[in-house]
Amino acid sequence: MEVTAKNIAERLGVSASAVSLAMNGKPGVSVATREKILAEAVRMGYSVPKKILPAASQNIRYVIFLEGGDTVKETSFYSIVLQGIEARAKEYGYNVLISYFYSSGNWEDQISTICKDAAGIIILATEVEDRHINKAYTHGLEKQVIPIVLVDNATSMVDVDCVVSDNLRGAYQAVTYLFEKGHPDVGYLRSKSRIDNFNERQAGVLKARKEREIDSLAPLQSIDVGISSEQAYYDMCAWLDAGGNRSRLFLRTTILSQPLASAR
């Protein structure tokens, strides 16, 4: 006799709608109920698609990689990313565990820890460079069979999914907008802390200037400021005291917009 969702519901004492939600991988039932329904369905001979079978682990690991840590610690971006991850993971019945990965620590031990009891790993890769990717894969990450996603950075070193911002194009469009508003040139507020994202934004600024052949008239005026709001404020004040004009500056991040705008 063909097993139906109604048969499973009657056997477990749950509603047919709960069985339907569990069998179709939709939210609306608890993780425990979902697993019970799927397990009973398999036991009764019901064909359950592999994509909705419960994972060996219901944990997703959100790993914050720290090289120096200044860039990540001074922004709220990582917490914004976490909010999105947690909201989506909850819909699918997953828990989100937060871990920090220190580049100065023991790589093999840390990789073993973050991969343990995890169905997948999402790495906040703001401070990651290709050399870090290479080191991670030679210290045990290559042996892992769980899905891995990099956020806020990309690499061509290995075949891994990446979620990134288009830093170059975004900076290019912003500077182009300033030119279209009549500014003859722009300056660039550049962080003293360098990461791939900031380098890409600088490339976007340079691209916009080059298209208008401004780069042949004068080099890009760059003002180096600290990564923290306080240090950036003092650096900006020092530049203004030296005669700088801030009416046409491109800022690498909105995090520092308020302290830099208030500098006197």
The CATH number covering residue 235 comes to: 3.40.50.2300
Q: Which of 138, 251, 120 is nearest to 187 (CA)?
A: 251
Tens of pLDDT along 222-231? 888 877 778 8
- Under the banding of pLDDT at 50, 70 and 90, the label for residue 105 is very high
Residues 194 and 239 in one domain: yes
Per the DSSP assignment, residues forming a β-bridge with 146 are none
Tens of pLDDT along 43-80? 887 766 655 555 446 889 999 999 876 677 667 777 88
Mean pLDDT of all residues belonging to the chain? 83
**Predicted local confidence at residue 53, as pLDDT:** 52
Which of 42-46, 120-124, 142-146, 179-183 shows the highest mean pLDDT? 120-124
Parent domain of 113:
59-163
Q: Is the separation of the CB atoms in 51 and 18 below 8 Å?
A: no
What mean pLDDT comes out for the span 219-224? 83
Question: Where does a domain end: 108, 141, 163?
Answer: 163
Please state, for a pLDDT cut of 70, what percent of the chain lies above it: 86
Tens of pLDDT along 160-218? 899 998 989 999 999 999 899 888 888 888 887 777 888 898 899 999 999 989 887 88
**Predicted local confidence at residue 55, as pLDDT:** 47
- Under the banding of pLDDT at 50, 70 and 90, the label for residue 136 is very high
The CATH number covering residue 16 comes to: 1.10.260
Helix axes 196-211, 167-180, angle to 10 degrees: 40
Q: Which residue has the tokens 């769980």?
A: 146
What mean pLDDT comes out for the span 254-261? 54
Number of domains in the chain: 3
**Count of Cβ atoms closer than 10 Å to residue 126 Cβ:** 22
Question: Where does a domain end: 163, 178, 212?
Answer: 163
**Predicted local confidence at residue 35, as pLDDT:** 78
Question: Where does a domain end: 139, 163, 187?
Answer: 163
Judged against a pLDDT cut of 80, whether residue 6 lies above it is answered with: yes
